[in-house]
Structure 1
Amino acid sequence: MDLQLKGKTVMVAAASKGMGYAIALACAQEGAQVSMASRDQDAITAAAESIRSATGAEVKAYQFDAADANSIERWVAATTEDFGAVSGLVVNAGGPPSGDFVDFTDADWQAAFELTLMSAVRLIRAVLPSMQSLGQGSVITVTSSSVKEPIDILLLSNVMRSGVTALVKSLSQAYAAENIRFNNLLPGLIDTDRLKTLNQKRAQALAISPDEVRQQQESQLPMGRYGTPQEFANAAVFLLSNAASYITGTTLAIDGGKMKTVW
């Protein structure tokens, strides 16, 4: 299937590793021009060079902080100056810290709000005029399965990512007539550094090893294993492409069948 991404510009946030990196790589493999960003300049530069070497695609690295409005504006401005109008955007950011309700202060809630919800608002707002100039575009957000089935230790993520999901549904209605699509991707247990960190915390709380935590989790998955970042990226690239031109307002779980919710 021709995904028709060749020559199009896609922005991928939090792309130095994990799911963000996998999406950037998959887009480059399809011939897209990729603007990838993260907080760590050295890490994102190395990631971009790796993708460039592997694919021959035009890939550029930018430093940005998802929780900083000015940083987002600078990244979008630099991307449009270097590549032209943007047709694809992947909203992504590191997750808020885990913990119990009584552990979090007002400052913790505010930081999670800026990192998770406002980063989505600001990124979409900054890129939207570019997509409108093209008469088409696709925005996907990387949220969490917690928006359908809250995760006990991820309260901040449960709340803020649910807000992102609602935002996307609202925008999908508002901009459908302009051929700008908005969709959410819900990663289940994807084998990333973030999951390893969470498993280490679970292991400490349960007084078992991280390997035992993984074995317990995988035994409860219908497919019997964690997903890979590449498998997650395949779904993302499809939704970014014209092959998904009649799909908007959806929330797609890539979780190996883990969730039992109907909707």
Structure 2
Amino acid sequence: MDLGIAGRTALVFGAGGGLGGAIATALAREGARVGLADINGDALARTEARLRESGAQTHSIEWDLSDIAGAAARMARVQSALGPVDILVNNTGGPPPSPVAGQPADTWQSHFNSMVLAVIGITDLVLPAMTERGWGRVITSTSSGVIAPIPNLGLSNTLRSALVGWSKTLAAEVGRAGVTSNIVLPGRIATDRIRFLDEKRAEREGLAFEDVVQQSTDSIPLGRYGQPSEYGDVVAFLASERASYLTGSVFRIDGGYINAV
């Protein structure tokens, strides 16, 4: 299937990580020019080297999402190198495991700035040109915790849920201009982040790491963790011409893991 995005410009955040790297790879494979943003310069360089080996046109930029004031200048650098952004993939790092009660106000504020306010501000930077051109895709990666809150991920459950309401509202505001806005959320995808969370759970509950993984796997109807490439492929489809009538929705990429309707 031709997804119809060859020559489009995409900007993928968290591109040095497992999910972001897989999304960038899927978009590049379809012929998109891909901007790569991440706070981790070494990880970013590895993703860019891999994509360029396959012939992709890329531009990478170290981007600390907590630096909200610097977002416009960084966006200008990306668009100068690749052209106006047609496809924006908002993919932020997650906060550390924690209960929801008793967190200091400055902890909430810090993670709100980098996980919510930064996403909203960056999207606002690209929306005017998208609406003027009559085409755009805003895809925001959150967490399964927005549907079924995950124990001991209080900060993530709360802050990522705010992005669901924002994305739905945005879809109604920009749809007639040819711009779609959707949420994607991972279940248990085999990334470093999931390994970290499994390790922390094993420590917290006094379990062997292998037992934690087995319990998780047993709860997934497909009987395994997902691969990052499977996540990236769904995002690439949502970014495509073929997905032009999909907006304001939440897409679970979870192998049936989320135990809620």
TM-score tier (shorter): over 0.9
1:205 has 2:208 as partner? no
1:102-113 aligned at under 5 Å gives the runs 102-113=101-112
1:167-178 alignment to 2 at 5 Å?
Answer: 167-178=166-177
Q: Which whole-Å CA distance do the structure 2 matches of 1:190 and 1:10 have between them?
A: 23
* Corresponding residue SS for 1:101: coil
State the distance in 2 between where 1:118 and 1:20 align: 19
Offset of residue 43 of structure 1: 2.2
Residue in 1 aligned with 2:99? 100
Letter in 2 for 1:38: D
Moved more, 61-70 or 222-231: 61-70
Aligned Cα RMSD in Å? 1.1
Query: Matches of 2:50 and 2:70 in 1, distance apart?
Result: 24
**C-alpha separation between the residues in 2 aligned to 1:82 and 1:198?**
36
Contact 2:99–2:155 (Cα < 8 Å) also in 1: no
Work out whether residues 90 and 139 of structure 2, in 8 Å CA contact, stay in contact via their aligned partners in 1.
Answer: yes
Moved more, 227-236 or 120-129: 120-129
1:47 corresponds to: 47
Match of 2:229 in 1: 230
One-letter identity of the residue aligned with 1:61: S
Cα deviation for residue 130 of structure 1 reads: 2.4
Partner of 2:89: 90
CA contact (8 A) 1:66 1:115 kept: yes
| AA of the residue aligned to 1:71 | G
2:216 is matched with which residue?
Answer: 217
In 1, Cα distance between equivalents of 2:83 and 2:124: 17
Retained in 1: the 8 A contact 2:144–2:252?
yes
Name the CA distance, whole Å, in 1 between partners of 2:25 and 2:209: 29
Aligned to 2:31: 31
Counterpart Cα distance in 2 of 1:95 and 1:49: 25
Q: Give, in whole Å, the separation in 2 of the partners of 1:186 and 1:42.
A: 26
Whether the 8 Å contact between 1:199 and 1:210 is mirrored in structure 2 is yes
Deviation at 1:103, TM superposition (A): 4.9
Amino acid corresponding to residue 260 of structure 2 in structure 1: T
SS of residue in 2 equivalent to 1:73: helix
CA contact (8 A) 1:4 1:241 kept: yes
The amino acid across from 1:204 in the alignment is E
| Higher mean displacement: 7-16 or 110-119 | 110-119
Distance in 1 of aligned mates of 2:42 and 2:225? 29
- Give the equivalent residue in structure 1 for 2:254: 255
In the alignment, does 2:3 pair up with 1:3? yes
Alignment of 1:40-79 (within 5 A): 40-53=40-53, 55-79=54-78
Q: TM-score, normalised by structure 1?
A: 0.96
2-structure distance, mates of 1:71, 1:233: 28
Q: Does 1:135 align with 2:134?
A: yes
How far apart, CA to CA, are the structure 2 residues paired with 1:199 and 1:249?
A: 31
Aligned residues with identical type, % of pairs? 37
**C-alpha contact 2:131 2:174 (8 A) present in aligned 1:** no
Q: CA deviation at 1:70?
A: 2.6
Give the distance between the partners of 2:78 and 2:17, measured in 1 at CA.
20
From the superposition, tell whether residues 214 and 38 of structure 1 become closer, same or farther in structure 2 (CA, over 3 Å): same
For the residue of structure 2 that corresponds to 1:91, the secondary structure is strand
Following TM superposition, by how much is the alpha carbon of 1:57 offset from its aligned partner in structure 2, in angstroms? 1.3
For residue 15 of structure 2, give the secondary structure of its aligned residue in structure 1. coil
Q: After alignment, is 184-193 or 60-69 more displaced?
A: 60-69
Q: Helix, strand or coil for the counterpart of 2:185?
A: strand
Unaligned runs of 5+ in 2: none
TM-score (norm: length of structure 2): 0.97
